[in-house]
Chains A and B, each alone.
Chain A
Amino acid sequence: MTTAPAVSAARDTVAIRSQNLCRHYRMGETLIRAVDGVSLEVRAGEFVALLGSSGSGKSSVLNLIAGLDRPTSGSVVVQERDLAQLSREELAKYRLHVVGMVFQSFNLIPSMTLQENVELPLRFAEVDRSRRQTLARDALERVGLRARMEHRPSELSGGEQQRAALARALINRPQLLLADEPTGNLDSHTGTEILDMVREFNRELGMTVVMVTHERALAERYAERMIFLADGKLIDDRPNAAAALDLRAEGGES
């Protein structure tokens, strides 16, 4: 990354604020409360882990923050934008420019080469072709896949695919990176590699990161704060002392 890090910007400003956030699904007679009154705050530049058992509503919360889904009630405000007030069109713009997403299953488009996959958000953003190619190349370079850019996702390992997905998520320089179990399909070594990269972006670019994970160990290693969900409710929200130490240690190293 050649540009100067914007870390300092405003560690104190609130990047994400949800208030009494609910997402209910009606299945015939029963009401499923996937998200049930979650209020949380994430500061700009923070690395937060969202933990909880399967079905606790982690992905649902993440999708609401990402603007992929709309809350049943309550509000999400991301960098002064009340997502509930945005039109579908505006939500798409928000996802395009403000949010970058990474998934457990990588979600690269199989018929496209890595370069084309990484370029895709730039197409939606109507960036010129020549500039698009340079940006895509640079992004792949950054995740160490420059040499593989003509390959299709199926020709790559899981770790490489997730790196490409990361490059795609970051291509429009989002302020917010939302990762839904980014290491869920990877072995622990590769997972660490990916999260190292995420942390690097978090620190260098001052990007706010919200990561959903099952693995307590990973959260403890990378997140500054851990938020626990159960049955759609926020049950615990605590800073991660270990990561704070780690951060200081690494800061000292470099």
Chain B
Amino acid sequence: MKIPDLTELALRNLRESLLRNSLTTIGISVGVASLVAMLSLGTGLQQLFSRRLAKSGLFDTVLVSSRRELRGMGREEERKGPTPGESRILDEPARLEIERLPNVTEAYPDIRFVTELRYEDKPHLTMISALPQSAKSNDAFDGMQGTFFSSDNEAAVILQKSFAEELLGKTPPLGAAEPSVAELAKPLLGKELTMRYAQRQAAPATQTPLANEPAPSDGSVTSAAYSVVSREQKLRIVGISDLDPESMRGPTRAKVFLPLKLAESLHVMLPTDLREISRAASDQPVYSSISVRVKNPAQVEGVEDAIKKMGFTTFSILDASNSLRQVFRVLYAFLGIFGSLALTVASIGIVNTLVMAILERRREIGIMKAIGASDADVKKLFFAEAGAMGILGGIVGVVLGWAIGQIINLGINIYLKSQSVPPEHFWAVPLWLVVFSIIFAFLVSLVSGLYPASRAAKLDPVQALRYE
């Protein structure tokens, strides 16, 4: 029999015992719905986390630190490898070497230091970090109020939301609604801050102007000595960022950002300067860490390996997301198993329904064989019925699962709104899941149809027609 005929006959047969077949189909839809619900919850959560991670903007960034710099990145630090004595110093030549690695777009020193910022004459001690112009495209600055630095040496700062709260004295009590970024930005944008910092100067100390002091490059400096001068720099607030672009740095993350060139020109005394004093032959800067931007996230691993071979320690979000992926794989497996279990129960329903149908339609099968139906025709007909129930159940199930997801999304978001947290999608039904679920339901139902179909095909027509 041809497929359209099979479909037509199968649907007609399903309609004949409408109630029973509907119940079976509903059984399948519930199975599919729970599968969809489970997996879309998993997908939704994963997307939520990935989104959060992506917004941290560091998917294509590798942090490099000297192996000596054990404190450099806090707890994520890789502590294996060569002893400090064998490791390399993270200085300018090292930075240039890293920048020349394939697939690296830039490598810039992480200038970060703790210093005092004055706003309306009140001092605030905070971690400051320098950002290159390329960070402008970082997702973390998507929801930013104000603008990014217009040039790389503009005397400007971008504040992280929590620091803005601190400046305004608006730090909310735990659990209370947070003020919006726009609210925080209004009184702050365009205002000036005064940064007080310690400048490192090559000895003998000369009062050269800050901005355009050339680094001594003739190598004639014999002494590593330098002096420290206290300085001030006025900075204009140009932006308030909503998200924390440095979330992956853990305890050393900064709340205030300066343009990179400006930060370099300030020659701020960095914590590493003290420690590397015996090794740095000149006053060539030694960096505590370097941020390396990779062309695309897929190449992060290769670049990381190359840098590790050079004798440095690396850290990327990949390391973090790898373990996250692991967690989600397990979560998926669990949710998938529960969903499949529901579908398995439903498939037993299919077997049951079809076996009942064979008993009921014994005579009909006998008639069909008597007038020329082959075993294959009868088999296909039962398969078609099973498959039709599977597809119908699959479609209804996907819709049902989607609806459940929407309701839960809605519920959670109503709750989030009451907590003044922006709405999130915990529940995502991606297209692949829709297609997969329907195909899966179809296949499961075909497998369920296997036994009834072959039993129907084997039916002896003489016996089937013998009794009324």
A109 touches B364 (CB 8 A): yes
Q: How far in angstroms is the closest Cβ of chain B from A37? A: 20
B218 interfacial contact with A, CB 8 Å: no
List of A residues within 8 angstroms of B465 by Cβ: 68, 103, 107
Minimum CB–CB distance for A165 against chain B, Å:
10
Within A212-226, the residues touching B (CB, 8 Å) are none
Assess whether A126 is in contact with B372, with CB atoms less than 8 Å apart: no
Number of chain B interface residues as a range: 20 to 34
- Most A CB atoms within 10 A — which of B2, B9, B370? B370
CB-CB under 8 A from A168, the residues of chain B are: 371
A112 to nearest B CB, angstroms?
Answer: 8
**CB proximity to A under 8 Å, residues B1-58:** 1-2, 4-5, 9, 12-13, 16
Instruction: Report yes or no: A124 in contact with B377, Cβ–Cβ below 8 A.
Output: yes
Do B462 and A95 touch across chains, with their CB atoms under 8 A apart?
A: no
A93 an interface residue at 8 Å Cβ cutoff? Answer: yes
Cβ–Cβ < 8 Å partners of B264 in chain A: none
Report whether A107 and B374 are in contact in the complex, using a CB–CB cutoff of 8 Å. Answer: no
Interface contact B462-A68, CB-CB below 8 Å:
yes
Partner of B376, one of A89, A101, A105, A112: A89
Q: Which chain A residue has the least Cβ–Cβ distance from B17?
A: A111
- Please tell me if A120 contacts chain B, counting CB pairs below 8 Å: yes
Q: How far is the CA of A172 from the CA of B366 in the complex (A)?
A: 18
Q: In whole angstroms, how far apart are the Cα atoms of A99 and B371 in the complex? A: 8
Interface centre among A92, A96, A103, A105 (most CB of B within 10 A): A92
Q: Could you tell me the distance between the alpha carbons of A27 and B375 in the complex, rounded to whole angstroms?
A: 27
The reply to whether B371 and A95 contact each other, CB–CB distance below 8 Å, is yes
Shortest beta-carbon distance from A91 to chain B in Å = 9
Mask: chain A, 82-118; 1 = CB below 8 Å from B; 0 = not: 0000001100110111010101010111011000000
A105 near B1 with CB under 8 A, answer no
- Give bound CA distance, A63 to B463, whole Å: 11
Is A69 interfacial (CB 8 A cutoff)?
yes
Could you say which of B2, B363, B376, B462 contacts A69, with CB atoms under 8 Å apart? B462
- Is there a chain B Cβ closer than 8 Å to A123's Cβ? yes
Contacts of A93 in B (CB 8 A): 372, 374
Q: Is the CB of A126 within 8 A of B1?
A: yes
The reply to whether A111 and B368 form a contact with Cβ atoms under 8 Å apart is no
> Is A92 a contact partner of B2 (Cβ separation < 8 A)?
no
**Complex formed: what's the CA distance from A111 to B16 in Å?**
7
With A63-B462, A68-B461, A105-B468 given, is the CB distance from A125 to B370 under 8 Å? no
Is A66 among interface residues, defined by CB-CB distance under 8 A?
A: yes
With beta carbons under 8 angstroms apart, the residue of A69, A89, A96, A129 that contacts B371 is A96
Is A195 engaged at the interface, CB distance under 8 Å to the other chain?
A: no
Assess whether B370 is in contact with A89, with CB atoms less than 8 Å apart.
no
B367 at the interface (CB under 8 A from A): yes
Q: A216 to nearest B CB, angstroms?
A: 25
Asked whether A159 is an interface residue with its Cβ less than 8 Å from the other chain, the reply is no
Q: Which residues of A contact B12 (CB under 8 A)?
A: 111-112
Within 8 A of A (CB), among B351-398: 363-364, 366-377
Q: Which of B2, B370, B377 contacts A66 (CB 8 A)?
A: B370
**A101 neighbours in B (Cβ, 8 Å):** 370-371
Which residue from chain A places its CB closest to the CB of B8 in the assembled complex? A123
A88 surroundings in chain B (CB, below 8 A): 374-375
Contact B2 A126 (CB under 8 A): yes
Chain B neighbourhood of A107, CB < 8 A: 363, 366-367, 370, 465
A99 to B370, CA, bound (A): 9
**A120 to B12 CA separation, bound complex (whole angstroms):** 13
Q: Are B5 and A89 neighbours in the complex by a CB distance under 8 Å?
A: no
Residue pair B372, A124 in contact (C-beta under 8 Å)? yes
Q: How far is the CB of A105 from chain B (nearest CB, A)?
A: 6
B371 close to A124 (CB less than 8 A): yes
Q: Are B367 and A89 in touch, CB under 8 angstroms?
A: no
A205 at the interface (CB under 8 A from B): no
Tell me the A30-74 residues at the B interface (CB within 8 Å). Answer: 63, 66, 68-69
Q: Does A206 contact B (CB under 8 A)?
A: no
CA distance A96 to B1 in the complex (A): 12
- Residues in B whose Cβ lies below 8 Å from that of A105: 468
Q: Which residues of A contact B368 (CB under 8 A)?
A: 109, 120, 124
User: Which residues from B are CB-within-8-Å of A227?
Assistant: none
A232 in contact (CB, < 8 A): no
Contact B371 A121 (CB under 8 A): yes
Q: Within the complex, which residue of B9, B369, B460 is in contact with A95, where a contact is CB–CB below 8 Å?
A: B369
Bitwise interface map of B from 396 to 436 toward A, beta carbon under 8 Å scored 1, else 0: 00000000000000000000000000000000000000000
Answer whether residue A149 sits at the interface, using C-beta atoms and an 8 A cutoff.
no
Q: Is the CB of A172 within 8 A of B372?
A: yes
Q: Is A169 an interface residue (CB 8 A)?
A: yes
Q: Which residue of B lies closest to A95 (CB)?
A: B372
Q: How far is the CB of A203 from chain B (nearest CB, A)?
A: 24
Partner of A120, one of B363, B371, B375, B462: B371
Min distance, Cβ B237 to any Cβ of chain A, angstroms:
77
Please tell me if the beta carbons of B374 and A68 are within 8 angstroms of each other in the complex.
Answer: no
CA A17 to CA B1, docked complex, whole Å: 31
Do A169 and B374 touch (CB < 8 A)? no
The smallest C-beta distance from B272 to any residue of chain A, in angstroms, reads: 83
- A125 cross-chain contacts in B, Cβ below 8 A: 372
**Which A residues lie within 8 Å of B5 (CB)?**
123
Cβ–Cβ contact A124 & B462, under 8 A: no
Q: Which residues of B contact A126 (CB under 8 A)?
A: 1-2
Complex contact A95–B375 (CB within 8 A): no
Whole-angstrom distance between the alpha carbons of A168 and B376 in the complex?
A: 21
Interface residues of B (CB under 8 A from A): 1-2, 4-5, 9, 12-13, 16, 363-364, 366-377, 460-462, 465, 468
Among all A-B residue pairs, the 9 with the closest Cβ atoms: A96-B372, A92-B374, A95-B372, A123-B5, A107-B367, A111-B16, A69-B462, A124-B372, A121-B371
Task: List 4 additional contacts besides A69-B460, A126-B2; criterion CB under 8 Å.
Answer: A95-B371, A109-B368, A121-B372, A169-B371
23 contacts between A and B (CB under 8 A): A68-B369, A68-B461, A68-B465, A69-B460, A88-B375, A92-B372, A92-B373, A95-B372, A96-B372, A99-B372, A101-B370, A101-B371, A103-B370, A105-B468, A107-B363, A111-B12, A111-B13, A120-B368, A123-B1, A123-B2, A123-B9, A126-B1, A126-B2
Q: Could you tell me which A residues sit within 8 Å of B by CB distance?
A: 63, 66, 68-69, 88-89, 92-93, 95-97, 99, 101, 103, 105, 107-109, 111-112, 120-121, 123-126, 129, 168-169, 172
